[in-house]
């Protein structure tokens, strides 16, 4: 099996690809984690509502425990979402900076050299 060669021939391309990986990979992982936490919160909320409607939750200690778990999961989810924002913003900044630096410092000079060579060839053939 042939593994494709990634374009890490200069620092700027490396920064661009790394920045976008920082933006995408943690987003996929944290999105899955947030979904799991949301499901857990919904299950606890549904259970509390069911027990309240049946009148089986007369013990306030049980209710308080369940609501405390729900609140802790909500705080945990909020923290994960903050990290998600951090990774998206940080990765986008690094990735965009890498692309702009690559274009301005590498690609533009190469285009100028290529244009001069093309002009020399066309002038030589005339």
Ranges of residues in the chain whose predicted pLDDT is under 50 = none
Q: What is the per-residue pLDDT for 7?
A: 63
Q: What distance separates the 2 farthest-apart alpha carbons in the chain?
A: 97
Crossing angle of helices 11-54 and 60-102, in 10° steps, is 160
Distance, first Cα to last Cα, the chain? 49
CA–CA–CA angle 67, 72, 76 (5° rounding): 145
Concatenating the DSSP letter of every residue in 6-45 gives P--SSHHHHHHHHHHHHHHHHHHHHHHHHHHHHHHHHHHH
- With beta carbons less than 8 A apart as the criterion, state whether 77 and 37 touch: yes
Structure tokens at 109: 């000079």
Domain boundaries, the chain: 11-118
Q: What is the per-residue pLDDT for 9?
A: 72
Q: What is the per-residue pLDDT for 51?
A: 73
Q: What is the per-residue pLDDT for 126?
A: 58
């Amino acid at each position: 099996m042939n593994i494709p060669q990634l374009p890490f021939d200069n620092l700027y391309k490396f920064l661009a690809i790394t920045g976008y990986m920082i933006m995408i990979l943690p987003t996929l992982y944290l999105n899955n984690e947030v979904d799991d936490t949301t499901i857990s919160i919904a299950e606890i909320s549904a259970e509390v509502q069911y027990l309240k409607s049946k009148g089986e939750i007369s013990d306030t200690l049980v209710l308080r425990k369940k609501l405390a778990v729900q609140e802790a999961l909500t705080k945990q989810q909020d923290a994960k979402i903050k990290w998600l924002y951090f990774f998206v913003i940080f990765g986008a900044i690094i990735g965009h900076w890498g692309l702009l630096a690559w274009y301005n410092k590498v690609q533009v000079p190469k285009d100028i050299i290529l244009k001069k060579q093309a002009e020399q060839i066309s002038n030589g053939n005339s």
